[in-house]
Amino acid sequence: MEIRGADVGFIGLGVMGLSMAGHLRKAGARLHVYTRTKDKVLAFLNEGAVWHDSPGAVAAACKAVFTMVGYPKDVEEVYFGRAGILENARPGTLIVDTTTSRPDLARKIWEEARKRGLRALDAPVSGGDLGARNATLSIMVGGAEEDFLDAKPLLEAMGKTVVRQGPAGAGQYTKMVNQIVVAGNLIGTVEALIYAEKAGLDPRTVLESISTGAAASWQLSNMVPRMLDGNFEPGFFSKHYLKDLRIAVESARSMGADLPMLALAESLFDKMVDRGYAEKGTQALYLLYKNGIPR
């Protein structure tokens, strides 16, 4: 699909969505938008996006519609709700959910879309607010190959690594794979840091010895300095990570996968939210350990 001059919708203009929509506009799309709180995006509207009063109204005006909302229930609402996307999009419209959401919900959207002559992709992203701002996201796509190819120019305006992973739901499954790896890396990093401190080591000197060999990870190199600096600002909110872990646990269970580390991660992030770290970054897991993991 040619971006320049195309009517493209974006629903959900939070930190991620706002940056992503901005890239589509810079690439020449005519943007149509809806988000829960209009007041937060007035500046964006002034730069030339068309406001609509519902997801369905956005969809009715566009050839392609992107969504980036919060939780699976929000996804259900914008797709299946009153004045939702599915009921209002014109046949042939490409609908792309970039929210990290349930794989089974992605498949349900795809099936419903198909019945209505729409083309659905699930396309969750990783790379955080920085990746969204710099258009360096990794975008993991599920859906039909031809729909993926059609959407690719738009996805490539927002991300650097854009890969089709398989049929509907495969994008969400791949994002869950990503989050499971992150869980192990993050928990390993935190436990190692706690151990190092108890042992009287200087963690920064320890990093010199271990950060480039078999222990090397993005979490180790990027999160330990933040933990040591007392910087618990959200690169990624703990409450959102808990949402992802719950989706991963639930889908793993439904597939019969026994994943004890994932179960541990979910229980730790449950406690993170209980303890009031919901709005902190995932690196605040260090604080949970520091203060003693509640039983």
- Within 139-178, the residues that bind its own copies by CB under 8 A are 140, 161, 163, 165-166, 169-170, 173-174, 176-178
8 vs 20, beta carbon nearer its own copies: 20
By the rule CB under 8 A, 196 interacts with its own copies: yes
Can 239 be counted among the known catalytic residues? no
User: Please, which of residues 18-77 interact with its own copies by CB under 8 A?
Assistant: none
Q: Is the dihedral of CA 272, 277, 279, 280 positive or negative?
A: negative
72-101 binders of its own copies (CB under 8 A): none
Report which of 103, 18, 13 is spatially closest to residue 55, judged by C-alpha positions: 13
Kindly state whether residue 214 participates in binding its own copies, applying the rule CB under 8 A: yes
- C-alpha torsion angle, residues 162, 164, 168, 174 (rounded to 10): -70
Task: Tell which positions 263-282 bind its own copies, by CB under 8 A.
Answer: 264, 268
Write the CB contacts of 66 (distance below 8 Å, at least 6 apart in sequence): 8, 9, 10, 11, 17, 20, 21, 24, 96, 97, 98, 154
Among 47, 261, 274, 279, binds its own copies (CB under 8 A): 261
Closest separation between CB of residue 131 and its own copies, Å? 8
Q: How far is 252 from 159, CA to CA, in rounded Å? A: 28
CA 157, distance to chain mean position in Å, is 17
Among 191, 233, 274, 279, binds its own copies (CB under 8 A): 191
The catalytically annotated residue of 40, 73, 160, 175 is 175
Tally the C-alpha atoms within 13 A of residue 245's C-alpha that lie toward its C-beta: 26
Q: Give the span between the Cα atoms of 33 and 189, in whole angstroms.
A: 40
User: Whole-number minimum distance, CB 154 to its own copies, in Å?
Assistant: 18
Task: Pick from 87, 217, 237, 239 the residue near its own copies by CB under 8 A.
Answer: 217
Contact 21, 66 (CB under 8 A): yes
134 binds its own copies (CB under 8 A): no
Active site amino acids: 175
